[in-house]
Structure 1
């Protein structure tokens, strides 16, 4: 089997020879069978949409997440999966944050939460003390930053900090701003507390994509150290933007398991079920250790009409694949996963591979919610 290094070297060699061809199926994700289990106490409600890993100054890795609908931040030793500590954030008083709505952990010194009661981000420390408040405001062009930004790992819209400036995403809410005039990202100078909208707006969506979104134009956004990359759930294209969004390009990154980009979302009593049935795309994440990108895709499925699907979205989609993109955003492989095992909405990139949750619990009465479990996948060349 060719090594991953040889695999990537061949891709670079082809580019140097001037042959700009899209190479497919030269690599895949392979399950290792290695599983990490993180024990949850009786106070923790399963919802891993606010979950991150980070390292300290010695290189030791940690996992942290927000206990859903509480003000608790939990910390684990990543290597041993041992529980370390729980931070209880006050709702009231001098360090009160009301009710936390979102969470992002960069490291122990940079923990950020959003709150339903504050229009901005709040930086806290491991004692629960408020260290800094970053208020939102109005740009010089009159755009008022929406207070509804909630940092999350699904959809992956974690805040980005570059040279003292904060980059956050904006949802499309027509009653506040024209959708075509709503920026995808706003930049905030955290020292001067000045806001600026970046030039990329929801106008980039085609009329067909807007029709399919049914006022739900969700996307994920990552920063790879050079570019911001957007993955809209209703589009087979990804959008790559320079750091200041002055240069933008759309690149096709389509799944072979989805015949058309997505289907039109229609409001109905079957909404929760349709959300988990219809074909669409998902989060795109960056793997800095292997210099590649993973994009989740969700083929159409038919689900049990007799089951109540309200609240089941926290366990992911029954069927999904992961597209593998190289440094030039070309598809070099796609892995289809077995159905009904993995929670495709919960994932982590680590030095030793991609970790995906094994907590798909829909209709599986024998699975415990006392643990969060992850299986490690390796990127290998395809035979």
Structure 2
């Protein structure tokens, strides 16, 4: 007989979980492992709500096993450490992003690309090395190997900083990897949502001249006045798109809905790079000559490894980069998911876990 989440480990835990494809979240008592010699346990203070949480609780990717407790943008304070932990002490502010495990020995792990490890263990809904399932940050506490624990910069807010553990690294990593982090570069950001608004902030901090592309003019003032983008283009306006043809060194495309990318390839200079971080559910159409003629590149990027995620947090703290958030109590989470589905948030929900999650 299968072991229940409540009894498979010795340390009681409490959170919110979805139990079927309705995605409705409700209280769940489960358990976490005892603190191992290299483990860090921490009380969760805040947890961001990512759009992938919504996909997961509804099993829209077809890989969810229930019950599932989402959340991979966790920040908190250390309450216990193992006997061989070297990097952290009780009372430290820490974070955990999308990963809590990897094989630590493959080619990807050897170069700090744990996010591409074929045996990676994600923060929730994955099978850990001991055969038990991982539970995420919509819960009271977390335990993980210190390798996957991130040091939280002193001057980085906990609530508005939490989404950086996904949205921040998802946009920072491709800017660095594809060489789009040089001052004076001309960069585009497609879409101004949870990822896009952080991408604008990251690109500006690198010293880029930033153009925001959106399907409607409604986000023009937001882009130019508050996020300090340099230009705004309505991507459905052919005349506006023509005005930026051949001008950009790179574009970060954050849109997850199916959309044409040919217009954005036209906006690139020769040898320009279009990097996808959104994940449309249908294949993209790319004309070969749109790449060949200008030696252009279409690439993709996932999150980052642990070393790079720490680098990103330190960069964000140095440059005052946070996400724009709406902080909500955990009993609001189902309403937050409904609003997220309608894009009715500017731009990220963050759960005030410590002040609202109470065991029943």
Common fold, TM-score beyond 0.5?
A: no
TM-score by length of 2: 0.27
Structure with higher strand content: 1
TM-score by length of 1: 0.25
Structure with higher helix content: 2
